[in-house]
Amino acid sequence: MTLLDVRGLTVRTGDGRTLVDDLSFTVAGGERLGLIGESGSGKSLTTLAVLGLLPDGMTATGSVELAGTQIIGAPEKRLTTVRGRDAAVVFQEPLTALDPLMRVGRQIAEPLGRRTGLKGKDLRRAVAHALAQVRLPDPERITRAFPHEISGGQRQRVALAMALACEPKLLIADEPTTALDVSVQAEMLELIDTLVREREMAVLFVSHDLAVVAKVTDRALVLKDGRAVEEGPVDAIVGAPREEYTKTLVASARRLESALDLRSAR
Ligand SMILES: Nc1ncnc2c1ncn2[C@@H]1O[C@H](COP(=O)(O)OP(=O)(O)OP(=O)(O)O)[C@@H](O)[C@H]1O
């Protein structure tokens, strides 16, 4: 069943510039779609439009139906119920999602308490469980910490725990590993992969990195200058890209990979 149905999505600035142009795609329940394209291709604006979070002054036209709710033109109150419950997001920079003045435990307790109705000791236990699920060591310390007191990788795990706490049908991950040290990127990716598979959650995974998209998704949509240039199973896109632009993306990903192979052979 279709969970997210985007049709003819067009995003324009106040002065009439078109940044996302007539984009259409679907994500079925439990499916994982990668949005790939270089910087500025419109990936983030697409995910923001899906959540009804476009910056002030920008307008979206077309249709974005998320779990049966039309997002475009929906009043804020409606959007608030959809966010979290139907779709939750992990951004590139975890500090975007975290309140710098609130202890980590409380930040996870809020969405968790709202969804489950748990309180007091039971809620505290559920928070500890949520932290353990994203493999955070020493949950006691993390619960009491403020966001600046933990590492970037740990913050991103907290942001993921918050997103998962709502048990959304769709997890939107916008470059969730890009801001992390290379050493923790692979771990984070592995973690997202495992957790969404366990929950049979659908994923819209945004990245400029084809290798990352290939790891986590089944299907990919290639964006260039706000338009879709190619769409298909990840294996087909990587193995036999049809469009010139996709060929360039694949070739540069391969060049990087073979440079790494050369280095490890030294
Ligand atoms: N608030 C804004 N006001 C005006 N233009 C914007 C704004 N946000 C993004 N843009 C422009 O819209 C285009 C698409 O941006 P978007 O952030 O969606 O790209 P992206 O593919 O996610 O790239 P990146 O990976 O660098 O975030 C870019 O040309 C960008 O400069």
Domain spans of the chain, in order of start: 2-96+170-265
Superfamily of domain 2-96+170-265: P-loop containing nucleotide triphosphate hydrolases (3.40.50.300)
- Single-letter code of the amino acid located at 114: R
Minimal-distance CA residue to ligand 1 atom 9: 45
Ligand 1 pocket check for 55: Cβ under 6 Å: yes
What is the rounded (10 degree) CA torsion for 243, 248, 251, 255? -170
Kindly give the distance from the C-alpha atom of residue 68 to the centroid of ligand 1, in angstroms, as a whole number: 27
Note the pTM of the prediction, 2 decimals. Answer: 0.91
Q: Backbone phi, then psi, for 228, in 5-degree steps?
A: -80, 125
Minimal-distance CA residue to ligand 1 atom 4: 13
ipTM topping 0.85: yes
How far is residue 114 from each of residues 5, 49, 83, 111, measured CA to CA in Å? Answer: 27, 25, 13, 5
Q: Backbone phi, then psi, for 218, in 5-degree steps?
A: -95, -35
Ligand 1 pocket check for 8: Cβ under 6 Å: no
Mean pLDDT per 10-residue segment, the chain (266 residues): 96 96 96 93 95 94 97 93 90 85 94 89 92 89 94 91 91 89 85 91 93 90 96 91 90 76 56
